[in-house]
Amino acid sequence: MVMHAKFMKQFKGFKVDVEFKMGNELLVLFGPSGTGKSVTLKMIAGLITPDSGHFKLQDKEFYNHSKGVNAKPQERSIGYVFQNHSLFPHMTVRENILFGAKGLEYNQSQIDADSMIESFNLTGLENKYPHEISGGQGQRAALAMCLIRKPKALLLDEPFSALDTPLRHKMRQSLKDIREKFNIPMILVTHDSEEAKLLGDRILYYDNGTITGPQL
């Protein structure tokens, strides 16, 4: 198993208690809003600290409550595409992608940015600001920004929910391509059942903070 996550987190009147393992596959977290899917992603990312549990990625333990291990989000090398605001509005497309190239040597980051721009069909848009490009182009740039550093896993929180239907179909294809190109664990949160079935190697059904569907 490449990833093993077990989290418990108590909120006011709401508890998230989940456990799952996954390989280099695309796992879909499916369920209605407010059932803890996004919270799960944030706990994997290290943006929310669980009350208890553990989280392992590629044999590296990033969180373990009983051992007092809790790596910062910066140390986890996990890509995260957020539902909205996926790009930084004050940077051009190219600057956004390069902002994701943290830790790469300067010349290498320039070369990688060029190849990302090409493979994500962003040629000609490099010097445009996010408000000057379409939603679909923005999400492609966001994916490029998250993937340039070759993360160990990719989290996608309803990345296509703001796009119209034809564009969603296109983006789903892009995601399939990414899935094949980057052989890493990918977790997609969605409440669109068609999207879940089409993209997911496996689907976990969420309800009221727990996984009710196929598990482990």
Partner 1 sequence: MLQSIILSLQVASIATILVAIVGLAIAYFLTTKKFPGKELVEVFFTLPLVLPPTVVGYYLIILFGRNGFLGKLIYNYTGWTIMFTWYAAILASFVVSLPLMIKASQAAIESVDKTMIDSSYMLGHSQFDTYLKVVFPLAKKGIIAGIVLSFARAIGEFGATLMVAGNIPGRTDTMPLAIYGYTATGDWKSAHIMVIILTLISGIFLYTANRFSKRNF
Span 109-168, contacts to partner 1 by CB under 8 A: 129, 145-146, 149
State the nearest-atom distance from the C-beta of 80 to partner 1, in Å.
4
Shortest Å distance, C-beta 120 to partner 1:
16
Torsion angle in degrees (nearest 10) through CA of 114, 116, 119, 124: -50
Q: Is residue 182 a contact point for partner 1 (CB under 8 A)? A: no
Looking at 50-58, 100-108, 171-179, 182-190, which segment touches partner 1 (CB under 8 A)? 100-108
Matching residue, tokens 């418990």 = 8
Is residue 40 part of the contact set for partner 1 (CB under 8 A)? Answer: no
| Least gap, CB of 89 to partner 1 (angstroms) | 7
Question: b vs e for 60-78, b when ≥16 Cβ sit within 10 Å of the residue's Cβ?
Answer: eebbbbeeeeebeeeebbb
Q: How far is the CB of 117 from partner 1 (least distance, A)?
A: 17
Selection from 68, 29, 31 nearest residue 49 by Cα: 68
Site mask, partner 1, residues 42-81, x = CB under 8 A?
Answer: x--x-x------------------------xxx--xxxx-
One of 13, 68, 103, 166 touching partner 1 (CB under 8 A):
103
Q: Going edge to edge, which strands form the sheet with 202-207?
A: 78-81, 153-157, 186-190, 26-30, 202-207, 210-211
Contact 65, 53 (CB under 8 A): yes
Q: How far apart are CA 63 and CA 75, in angstroms?
A: 11
DSSP character at residue 153 = E
Return residues touching partner 1 (CB under 8 A).
42, 45, 47, 72-74, 77-80, 82, 84-86, 88-90, 99-100, 102-103, 129, 145-146, 149
